[in-house]
Amino acid sequence: MTIHPTAVISAKAELHESVTVGPFSVIEDDVKIAAGTTVASHVRISGPTTIGRNCTIDSFAGLGGAPQDIGYKGEATELLIEDDVLIREYASIHRGTVNGGSRTVVGSGSMIMAYAHLGHDCIIGRHVIIVNAAQLGGHTQVADHATVGGLTGTHQFSRIGTFAFIGGGSAVSKDVPPYAMVTGERGRMKISGLNKVGLRRAGFDRAVIRQIDAAYRILFYSPDLLHNEALEKVEQELGGCSEVDGLTAFIRSSKRGVVKRTRNS
């Protein structure tokens, strides 16, 4: 274990012997850090927080702070950061609340860029990218492999589907469907297309991409079909493709409504 002499480590923290902690960092009670993780200088980690293997926490990040929720009464909620997560400078990630499941989670392989904020009870999937200064409201869910552009904000309880790509400076107030490329200000977000580049880079079979594309054309480019009619048409004609089935299930389960191709009202 390499601990700089100016770092302050609680006797109630548990650090693997291979962990590195830089100058002036503070690691408080009930923090657990697994093998191979590096904590840079001037980082503050409050507990209960668990950090997985081979993570990198850059300078001035604040992890595990109390949730910014007026109903929070000091309960021992937690932050869980899985393996191989990169958290850049000045990022802040808060613990959960009792009413929100008591846990904030960042999935393995994700990157949280500088100045980003993840509010209480956010659930971030695996291999997610949260770009510089994005601000995620409490209870936001971001599925695996999604990208949230810089300076983007999300409304509380928003959901972002797998492989979705949100352009920088957007304001998310409705759910973003899986595989969508979206951008826009609050109330005017729209789908600009399917994230085909992201799917190809991830190794999706071309036939599967064609299936998803066909579903998108029915769901978002068929002005003569009502919402439920479009969903039923996709399920009847393209059902059985797991990616398409996941897309329609996401839309049917939405409580906030989903971003569409045209202006939201």
- 138 catalytic residue (yes or no): yes
pTM for the full model? 0.94
What is the per-residue pLDDT across 184-232, written as a single tens digit (0 to 9) for each? 877 788 898 999 999 999 999 999 999 999 999 999 999 899 999 999 9
Catalytic residue among 121, 139, 161, 175: 121
**CATH of span 198-252:** 1.20.1180
The phi, psi pair for 197, rounded to 5°, reads -60, -45
Q: Which two tokens stand for residue 54?
A: 């081979």
The residue annotated as part of the active site, out of 64, 138, 153, 161, is 138
Residue 24 has pLDDT above 90, yes or no: yes
According to CATH, what is the number of the domain 2-139?
2.160.10.10
Please, where in the chain does CATH 2.160.10.10 lie? 2-139
Look at residue 72 in the predicted model and tell me its pLDDT.
94
CB-CB contact of 16 with 33 (8 Å): yes
pLDDT tens for each residue of 42-81: 999 999 999 999 999 999 999 999 999 999 999 999 999 9
Band of residue 265 on the pLDDT scale cut at 50, 70, 90: very low
Which residue of the set 117, 120, 139, 145 is catalytic?
120
109 is catalytic: no
Per DSSP, the three-state class of 211 is: helix
CATH 1.20.1180 segments of the chain: 198-252
CA angle 13, 105, 57 (to 5 degrees): 55
Question: Rounded CA gap, 172 and 156, in Å?
Answer: 9
Specify whether 120 is catalytic.
Answer: yes
Does the pLDDT at position 239 exceed 90? Answer: yes
